[in-house]
Amino acid sequence: MKMSKVYKANIWGGEGCRTTRSSLAKGVSRTITTMDSKGLSLKGSLPLLLLLVSNLLLCKSVASLPVCPSGAANCQVSLRDLFDRAVILSHYIHNLSSEMFNEFDKRYAQGKGFFTKTINSCHTSTLPTPDDKDQAQQTKHEDLLNLVLTVLRSWNDPLYHLVAEMRGLQEAPDTILSRAIEIEEQNKQLLEGMEKIVGQVQPGVKENEVYSVWSGLPSLQMADEDTRLFAFYNLLHCLRRDSNKIDNYLKLLKCRLIYNNNC
């Protein structure tokens, strides 16, 4: 099952959510049917199923609440709902990236000593990110929001090439490729949602589209197999690391901005 085709709906707009409900419901039905007919493991399909159900409920909630006055133009979804969706999506992306890394590690990296080479080797390592939860809590919310945007933008190019090059990886299982395709799509979705969140938290502030440049494409195309496999391994390792940071930052921001740190 190609997950990106099941869940590719706009979850950020109040009006778009109304048309999204039917496609999300169909996605849930198809997921359950596929799991049953093909005997797929619940563990592998559960994150997708949870995301589909969660967003179906979110869309139902948004459609039933008076988010905007009747007939209002440029209707906005509430900041709380935007954060709810962003946190669900970031957690989903992190789960997928962890599963993809673990599967790649078992299939291609055993006994090769790749992990010891990954220290400070991510293209986003130069970004000034908080080292731990305490530092993140001391960071201004404006800075954290901009940091999330920067990290998400920094992955647009690597994810595009990851999918393209992984198609040519020898004996690459469909599960790894399908997760890469899904993460690329959902990273774009999350970036779109974060831009809407920043627009509500910092209205009128002009965005500075900063991102960390990735230069790892030649390594993904190396003729030497071990060098090429390490390039994939390192990129997946960095993706797992950064998706975890984004997930944690969004949960912290939601707690601070929506619940005034009472969570």
Instruction: Indicate the residue type of 162.
Output: L
Q: What are phi and psi of 222, to 5 degrees?
A: -65, 145
For residue 237 the two structure tokens come to: 């390792």
Q: How far apart are CA 230 and CA 121, in angstroms?
A: 11
pLDDT of 157 reads 97
Instruction: Indicate the residue type of 135.
Output: Q
Q: How far apart are CA 63 and CA 72, in angstroms?
A: 14
pLDDT of 120 reads 72
Helix (H) or strand (E) holding 21: helix 14-38
pLDDT of 252 reads 97
3-state secondary structure of 124: coil
Instruction: Indicate the residue type of 5.
Output: K
pLDDT of 109 reads 86
For residue 108 the two structure tokens come to: 């291609």
Which stretches of the chain drop beneath a pLDDT of 50? Answer: 1-7, 18-21, 23-24, 28, 31-32, 34-35, 37-42, 44, 61-70, 72
Nearest to 86 by CA among 201, 206, 204, 241: 201
pLDDT of 69 reads 47
pLDDT of 87 reads 95
pLDDT of 5 reads 44
pLDDT of 2 reads 43
